């Protein structure tokens, strides 16, 4: 009987990363986004890392998994998953929730453990993680520019850490963006810096006609060679989605989550000639059968943090191929560990041919050695080094952990943040 390395240590480091005041349908990003960095170390001192959205419950659950994780074999992921779901899977409150992001704890925790274990596996095998997922289908992974509205009404720029000497994208990142012209300026600065060749705008912030005007301005500014996507963040009615969707039919690559729920999406899809994408209406394998039955979306926006890891995302790719759905990728505010994990995964999925979403341009810090990941023409090179091919910069990690401790934040709560500036603000699940 061959015995391999066993996990002897699990280190959880909550961090708070500087985040600009980006607007969405529930409110506004707080000055810090919470992430959690996981390190697993084997008894022969091989370490694997991962990064997930962090909050106090996720961190607590991650800590509780120690009883199962310690002593386990980093290759035995099926056993680990089964043990975790047996032990912690009956928590009734572990639902996706009403937020635009996914609030399930266990699936995030498992994805953190899986990615760190795959990092270890790659180091043991002396192969990049992508090779453990079937091998690369491409040498670079292409990302899209992800635009956001910033500030609302007369509030001015709700930011912090503004640098008056910033230039280029660093300057543009600080700027307000409410009008079509400002959105175009944001896009131009971001595309210039990162070389993105496709563009998405997060909407659901201003009345539909204003947001449609911004999309039209982007179309005018960038022309038909640059695919455009628009995401009303689920707060439009079916009627609004159809009305404004029709106006954008000739300019959109896809329309993302115009309305909430598969039934509504199916109704919108029947009425429009453009593909619909989702990361709010179909967000787990349990949602797939009704998505297929209703024909509610054309494209699933995967996210390994809430689809259960990299292998599950590859499996989602196969499900999408089987049912003739497209696959793209969702993101939340994140640093380089998540980015590089996304790159390994996207490289291994044959049908992941849409440019991926990433918030990465909005972040300025980095916890991996070598600093910020480089984009060339909107693309990131698929690593060839063993495992994820990255390592932690412990100095920065400590600083961002200090940020976390000092921030006083325990959860992402964009609505509460918005209320600080606009006390009358209330989230409305259906706004227009």
DSSP at 285: G
- Binding span for a copy of itself by CB under 8 A among 152-160, 331-339, 381-389, 400-408: 381-389
Q: Which of 29, 108, 136, 305 binds a copy of itself (CB under 8 A)?
A: 136
Nearest Cα to 193, choosing from 215, 175, 212, 171?
171
Query: Considering the rule CB under 8 A, would residue 166 count as an interface residue with a copy of itself?
Result: no
Total Cβ atoms within 10 A of residue 72: 18
Query: Given candidates 105, 304, 311, 412, which one binds a copy of itself under the rule CB under 8 A?
Result: 311
Of 210 and 315, nearer to a copy of itself (C-beta) is: 315
Instruction: State how far Cα 401 lies from the chain centre.
Output: 21
295 lines the binding site for a copy of itself (CB under 8 A): no
Angle among Cα 28, 29, 33 to the nearest 5 degrees reads: 165
Q: Which is nearer to a copy of itself, 168 or 350 (CB)?
A: 350
Question: How far is C-alpha 350 from the chain's CA centre?
Answer: 20
The DSSP line for 166-181 is --HHHHHHHS-B-SHH
The Cα 227–Cα 358 span in angstroms is: 16
Compare residues 377 and 384 and give the one whose CB is closer to a copy of itself.
Answer: 384
37 binds a copy of itself (CB under 8 A): no
* Other residues' Cβ atoms within 10 Å of the Cβ of residue 48: 26
Both structure tokens of 206: 């201003």
106-135 binders of a copy of itself (CB under 8 A): 121, 124-128, 131-132, 134-135
Is 401 labeled as catalytic in the residue annotation? no
- 289 CB-near residues (< 8 Å, 6+ apart): none
Q: Which of 6, 76, 243, 372 binds a copy of itself (CB under 8 A)?
A: 76
384 touches a copy of itself by CB under 8 A: yes
Question: Is 270 a catalytic site residue?
Answer: no
Least distance to a copy of itself, CB of residue 350, Å: 6
Burial tier of 213 (Cβ tally within 10 Å: 0-12, 13-18, 19+): middle
User: Least separation, in Å, of the C-beta of 151 and a copy of itself?
Assistant: 42
Q: What is the DSSP letter of 134?
A: T
**Is residue 57 a contact point for a copy of itself (CB under 8 A)?**
no
Q: For residue 74, give the nearest of 116, 112, 107, 37 by alpha carbon.
A: 116
**Of 92, 167, 324, 395, which one interacts with a copy of itself (CB under 8 A)?**
324
Nearer to a copy of itself, 183 or 373 (CB): 373
83 binds a copy of itself (CB under 8 A): no
First and final CA of the chain: distance in angstroms?
63
Residue 289 engages a copy of itself in binding (rule: CB under 8 A): yes
Q: Residue 155: what are its φ and ψ, rounded to 5°? A: -70, -15
**Closest distance of CB 191 from a copy of itself, Å:** 29
Contact between 75 and a copy of itself (CB under 8 A)? Answer: yes
Residue 285 in the binding site for a copy of itself (CB under 8 A): yes
> Rounded to the nearest whole angstrom, what is the least distance from the CB of residue 244 to a copy of itself in the complex?
31
Name the active-site residue from 330, 344, 359, 379: 330
The order of strands in the sheet holding 7-18 is: 7-18, 32-42, 47-53
Q: How far is the CB of 77 from a copy of itself (least distance, A)?
A: 5
Q: What does the chain come to in residues? A: 432
Which residue among 108, 197, 200, 202 is the active-site one?
Answer: 202
315 lies in the site for a copy of itself, by CB under 8 A: yes
Per-residue CA distances from 381 to 59, 123, 136, 311 (Å): 31, 19, 11, 20
Tell me if 344 sits within 8 A of 383, measured CB to CB. Answer: yes
CA–CA separation, 200 vs 330, rounded Å?
Answer: 11
Examine residue 86 and tell whether it contacts a copy of itself (CB under 8 A).
no
114 and 305 Cβ atoms separated by less than 8 Å: no
Q: Which residue matches tokens 């280190």?
A: 11
- Determine, following the binding rule CB under 8 A, whether residue 350 of this chain makes contact with a copy of itself: yes
* Least distance between a copy of itself and beta carbon 48 (Å): 15
* Of residues 75 and 169, the one with the C-beta less far from a copy of itself: 75
Q: Is 385 in the site for a copy of itself (CB under 8 A)?
A: yes
Closer residue to a copy of itself in complex, CB, 2/225: 2
Question: Which chain residues interact with a copy of itself by CB under 8 A?
Answer: 1-2, 4, 73, 75-80, 82, 121, 124-128, 131-132, 134-137, 285-286, 288-289, 292, 311-312, 314-315, 318-319, 321-324, 348, 350, 384-386
Q: Which residues are catalytic?
A: 202, 330
């Amino acid at each position: 009987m061959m015995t391999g390395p066993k996990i002897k240590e699990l280190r959880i480091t909550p961090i708070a990363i500087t985040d600009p005041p980006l607007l969405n349908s529930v409110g506004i990003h707080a000055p810090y986004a919470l992430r959690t960095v996981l390190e697993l170390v084997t008894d022969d001192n091989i370490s694997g890392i991962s990064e997930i959205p962090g909050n106090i419950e996720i961190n607590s659950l991650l800590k509780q998994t120690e009883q199962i994780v310690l002593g386990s074999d980093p290759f035995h992921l099926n056993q680990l998953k089964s043990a975790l779901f047996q032990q912690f899977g009956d928590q009734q409150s572990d639902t996706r929730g009403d937020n635009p992001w996914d609030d399930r704890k266990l699936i995030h925790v498992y994805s953190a453990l899986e990615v760190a274990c795959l990092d270890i596996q790659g180091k043991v095998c002396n192969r990049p993680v992508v090779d453990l997922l079937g091998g690369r289908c491409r040498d670079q992974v292409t990302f899209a520019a992800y635009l956001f509205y910033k500030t609302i009404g007369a509030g001015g720029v709700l930011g912090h850490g503004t640098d008056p000497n910033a230039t280029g994208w660093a300057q543009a990142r600080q700027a307000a963006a409410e009008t079509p012209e400002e959105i175009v300026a944001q896009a131009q600065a971001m595309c210039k810096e990162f070389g993105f060749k496709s563009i998405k705008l997060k909407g659901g912030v201003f009345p539909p006609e204003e947001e449609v005007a911004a999309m039209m301005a982007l179309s005018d500014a960038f022309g038909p060679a640059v695919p455009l996507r628009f995401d009303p963040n689920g707060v439009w009615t079916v009627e609004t989605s159809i009305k404004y969707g029709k106006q954008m039919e000739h300019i959109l690559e896809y329309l993302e989550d115009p309305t909430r729920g598969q039934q509504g999406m199916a109704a919108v899809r029947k009425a429009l000639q453009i593909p619909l994408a989702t990361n709010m209406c179909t967000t787990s394998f349990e949602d797939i059968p009704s998505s297929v039955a209703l024909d509610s979306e054309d494209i699933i926006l995967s996210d390994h943090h809430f689809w259960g890891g990299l292998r599950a995302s590859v499996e989602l790719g196969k499900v999408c191929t089987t049912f003739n759905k497209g696959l793209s990728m969702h993101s939340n505010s994140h640093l380089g560990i998540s980015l590089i994990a996304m790159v390994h995964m996207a490289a291994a999925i044959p049908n992941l041919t849409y440019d991926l979403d990433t918030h990465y341009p909005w972040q300025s810090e980095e916890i991996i050695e070598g600093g910020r990941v480089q984009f060339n023409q909107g693309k990131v090179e698929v690593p060839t080094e063993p495992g994820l091919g990255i390592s932690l910069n412990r100095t920065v990690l400590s600083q961002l952990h200090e940020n976390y401790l000092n921030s006083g934040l325990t959860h992402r709560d964009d609505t509460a943040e918005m209320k600080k500036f606009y006390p009358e603000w209330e989230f409305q699940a259906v706004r227009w």
